Structure 1
Amino acid sequence: MQRTAWLAGIALVVGAGETAFGQTAPYPGAGAAGSSSAEVTSGNRFNPDISVILEGNAYWDDADGEGAGLPGLAEGINAAHGGAGHDHGHAHGGDEPGFNLKPTELLFSASVDPYFDAFVQAVIEDSGEVGLEEAYFTTTALPAGLRVKGGQFLSGIGYHNEKHRHQWEFIEQNLPYQHLLGPHGLMDSGVQLTWTPATPVYTHFGVEALQGDQEVVGRFAGEEAIHGLEEEGHVTGGTLDPYRDPDEGPRLFTAFAKVAPDLGYSHELQAGLFGVYATDHQEIHGGETLPVHVTNGQSWVVGTDWVYAYDAPDQYGKGDIKLQAEYLYAVKDLEVAYHAEDPSVEGDRREFTEDGFYVQGRYGFAANWRAGARYDMVGLTNKREGPGTATHWDRSERISANVTWSPSHFSRLQAQWSRPEIATDHGTETANQFFLRYILSLGQHGAHDF
């Protein structure tokens, strides 16, 4: 099947109610968020597509309002464990009981000239603070199916990682992404090279070199955490000066591959493999109750992603099916570089291992209506090993279900129930969570990819 025919097929598979919630397509020549280099107007200095995404929800739980924070407390290799310079919650915009305005997204995309497209996404928090999520260019005229992306962007690894919050099928980030990649997934500054060869079977390959400024994989505690410990008087022996600055970037590298066999007009399947490697990973633990110690080394994540979609003959998404799943396996290979009270352990190796997966599906049970379910978990493997010692943590899991109504391509209303069962340092904690969510799209916005 020719690549153009395949792409036309997956556009139909996506179904009703999704055009307003799109992202950049992963093939050469596709403009950022739907822009087209072929439509550049001579002398048009600034003529971007502009869209605004509004999102909010109403939230309740049966845990005295603490349910939204539970997933961030899961025990595992990236939990605080008395550490410094680390966000225990790992929350992505935690919800309070009642009404919540989520970050408002501003999206700008345009064809710069016949050779480059550009895309910018800024977010406005409910406090009024403005932040930048993505700002990148993509090439549009390279030969042989090659494309270069540069700037700050969501990595192309996996399936879910490139999706913005308003594209998530469920309100909360899935557990393996949250704990093994970060609350936003993997997003960084750097450069990406992809290759989509003109073959009968769709194949897509990519590599990235990223700066390595991350909260989870490849994180670096550094100056801020060290200064805080010194100010509080927790550094009682030696000096932490050698551990203030990270290695020069880029410090984070990724590779990914995707393949989509031809299953006919109504069915689509995509499978992928990916890997992430951080050359410089530093953690600083201790403080109030434990002696300060520094661990340095490397960290990496490997995974696989699978997506299946069926486009039913009915219109507006009725009868459509979409299934997706991803598995992640993360390792941190570290050495004790400094210990305030026991220098004899310096040089000892510490290996941390944790995995996780999610599986979710949705079904269009009526025109513009769909129902979805998800199971996500972390910690089938969840351990820390050192010389003669090993620590194992329990797994955490969650089930969720939702119903979504999309009156048009530019609006979505959703009701969701979730029940997390989270292994914390106080034992397993559970909650029943209820959400009512709205998403509205104002202005131009590109179509979904597969």
Structure 2
Amino acid sequence: MRNFTRATLAVAVMSVISPAAADQNATAELEAVREEIRALRQAYESRISELEGKLEQLESQPRNAGADAAPAAPARAPAGQHRRVYSNEFNPSIGVILNGRWSGFSESGSEIAGFGVGEEGERGREGLAVDESELNVAANVDDKFYGAMTAAIVREEGEDKVELEEAYVQTLGGAGLPTGLSLKAGRAFWTLGYLNEHHTHEDDFADRPLPSRVFLNNAFNDDGVEFSYVLPTALYSEIGGGVFRGDDLPFGDSTGSGPEAWSLYGRLGGDIGYNQSWRVGAYVLSGEAADRVTNEGDVGFAGDTDLYVADLRYTWAPTGNARQRELTLQGEYFRRSEDGSYRDATAGTGNVAVDDAVNGGYVQAVYKFRPQWRIGARYSLLQAPDVPAGLVGSALDGGGHDPEAYALMLDWTNSEFSRVRLQYNREELSEGLRDDQFIVQYIMSLGAHGAHKY
């Protein structure tokens, strides 16, 4: 009986203690879960605050591209560019562009009748050749400035030469300027139409159209200062301008220490739905040419030069994904007005006064029909200038012929770092002269390289 009583008491005690212990264990487990949730919430809130800060910093940086531009890489290059630069913070991004080609021509000469042309604007060498290769260095200077330099290695007159194409600094969002305002100083491919801002290896064709070759010697990259201001509007709108030394074509060697040239421009752009975008622009570049020498020093000009440019670019991704298929339409119109005097040393003409304007332009279409393949066509034209009596029979006498050129291309892009292109040109630059050209080109990028503009 005593044993039964003890057993009964033990069972009763256990029935009371077990639920209490279970409750304590459950409470401890619940408290541990709550603590883990609080820790996770705190960690996520900290991470979200950090990301919001970075986003605010990026949004404060200037944007200088069209409406379809992708977000810029953090503080690597000015906003409004597609391709990131992979490098450590504030450490220079160093890249090399390898550019080579084989060219075959049906005519030995390629003079553009009625126009003086600089060396960069000429046709180039026949056969195998290493084309213009580049060494690029770029980095943030600090939280307020970005800097970049591009040196081009070219072969001229049988010798390899190094030319400084770009060396500039540009303000970042933290420089304290009003939102949307950016300043750039040094030497750069300045804002003038569409192609001028781009390096030639970014082009859709192996050579530049006739107006760029004649009016700009391929590109205008004088020493100077330029501002750009992206307006706070729903539609992409940008205005800008600059002052320049006046050493580069379409000018010549400047005579003084002050700026000899200036520019102004305005651009608008936007999206049409989710798979189309457009941009238009108007530009003026004006200055004094003290001694603009072309055609290997035979032709010279001194006087006032005004160059007006208008451009249009439209892109359409038929499937909504530009990486798969994309159609790009592009064109530029040029008008050069000059008041001064020409001379032709070969023809023995003295200084002949001229006050005339000539026009030129090009249109092109490029279609990406597969992710790695594109085809394109381009047509460019120059209006024959009126020749004063004193220049009849000189290199500036085109006989009333309007130079024109046709181009067809097919290229294969294995990645954003490599491209191989096949191109056919037909150039009718002088009366009765038709030059059929075949070009095979490769472009390879080593290391980090700055983003390509819209």
Q: TM-score when scaled to structure 2?
A: 0.73
Cross-structure match for 1:103: 132
- How many angstroms does 1:107 deviate by? 0.7
- C-alpha distance 26-75 of structure 1, shift in aligned 2 (>3 A): farther
Which residue of the partner structure matches residue 254 of structure 1? 263
Counterparts of 2:315 and 2:326 in 1: how far apart (Å)? 8
Deviations 1:386-426, CA, capped at 9 Å, x for gaps: 89x99763210010001111111111011100000012xxx
**Alpha-carbon displacement from aligned partner over 1:27-66 (angstroms, at most 9, x marks no partner):** 5xx79x8569xx985xx6xx11111111111122223xx2
Does 1:382 pair with 2:385?
yes
Could you say what secondary structure the match of 2:222 adopts? Answer: strand
Which protein has the bigger helix share? 2
2: distance between equivalents of 1:6 and 1:209? Answer: 19
Conserved 8 A contact 1:300-1:330: yes
Asked if the contact 2:289/2:301 (under 8 Å) is kept, the reply is no
Q: Is the 8 A contact 2:99 2:444 kept in 1?
A: yes
Q: Distance in 2 between matches of 1:104 and 1:12?
A: 27
Are 2:427 and 2:436, in contact at CA under 8 Å, matched by a contact in 1?
Answer: yes
Aligned pair partner of 1:48 in 70, 84, 92: 92
1:434 and 2:438 aligned: yes
In 1, Cα distance between the equivalents of 2:313 and 2:304?
30
Q: 1:194 to 1:349 in 2, by over 3 A?
A: same
Change in Cα spacing, 1:26 to 1:327, as seen in structure 2 (3 Å) is farther
Partner of 1:130: 162
Structure 1 runs (4+) deviating above 6 angstroms are 2-9, 292-295, 389-392
Residue 361 (structure 1) aligned with residue 365 (structure 2): yes
Question: How many angstroms apart in 1 are the aligned matches of 2:282 and 2:321?
Answer: 33
Distance, in Å, in 2 between the alignment partners of 1:449 and 1:372 is 19
Tell me how far 1:110 sits from its aligned partner: 0.3
- Answer whether contact 1:247 1:280 (CA < 8 A) is retained: no
Report the more deviating stretch, 253-262 or 294-303: 294-303
1:177 is paired with a residue whose SS is helix
Question: Structure 2: which 5+ runs fail to align?
Answer: 1-58
Q: Which residue of 2 aligns with 1:155?
A: 190
Name the larger-Rg structure. 2
> Is the aligned partner of 1:309 residue 2:315?
yes
User: What's the counterpart of residue 400 of structure 2?
Assistant: 393
Tell me, yes or no, if the aligned pair for 1:117 and 1:137 is still in contact at 8 Å.
yes
* Contact 1:76–1:354 (8 Å) recurs in 2: no
Quote the residue 2:375 is aligned against: 371
Where in structure 2 are the equivalents of 1:28-107 lying within 5 Å? 34=84, 41=89, 47-63=91-107, 66=108, 70=110, 73-78=111-116, 87=118, 91=121, 94-97=124-127, 99-107=128-136
Counterparts of 1:76 and 1:409, CA distance in 2: 40
Output the amino acid matched with 1:311: A
* Post-superposition CA distance 1:48-107 (Å, at most 9, x none): 1111111111122223xx2xx51xx1122536xxxxxxx5x553571222x111122111
1:269 aligns with 2:278: yes
Distance 1:93 1:175 in 2: 10
Contact 1:317 1:369 in 2 (8 A): no
SS in 2 for 1:257: strand
The CA distance in 1 between the partners of 2:293 and 2:453, in whole Å, is 41
Which of 316, 328, 337 lines up with 1:331 in the alignment? 337
Residue correspondences, number: 378
Q: 1:294 to 1:324 in 2, by over 3 A?
A: closer
Distance 1:5 1:52 in 2: 26
Q: Which has the higher contact order (CA 8 A, sep 6+)?
A: 1
Please say if 1:181 is aligned against 2:219. no
1:278 matched to 2:287: yes
Q: Which runs of 5+ in 1 are unaligned?
A: 14-18, 80-86, 221-244, 340-344
Please point out which of 199, 210, 230 is paired with 1:196.
230
Q: Aligned Cα RMSD in Å?
A: 3.8
2:171 maps to a residue whose letter is T
| 1:403 lines up with 2:447 in the alignment | no
The code of the aligned residue for 2:231 comes to P
SS of 1:431 mapped into structure 2: strand
Residue type matched to 1:116 in 2?
A: F
Indicate how the Cα distance of structure 1 residues 170 and 284 shifts in structure 2: closer, same or farther if over 3 A, else same: closer
C-alpha distance in structure 1 between counterparts of 2:66 and 2:285, whole Å: 31
Contact 1:318 1:369 in 2 (8 A): no
Deviates most, 129-138 or 390-399: 390-399
Give CA deviations for 1:147-180 in whole Å, capped at 9, x if unaligned: 0000011111111101101111111121001111
- Asked if residue 447 in structure 1 is aligned to residue 454 in structure 2, the reply is no
Residue pair 2:85, 2:93 contacting (<8 A) in 1 also: yes
Say yes or no: does 1:164 pair with 2:199: yes
Number of the residue aligned with 2:13: none
Q: What's the secondary structure of 1:262's corresponding residue? A: strand
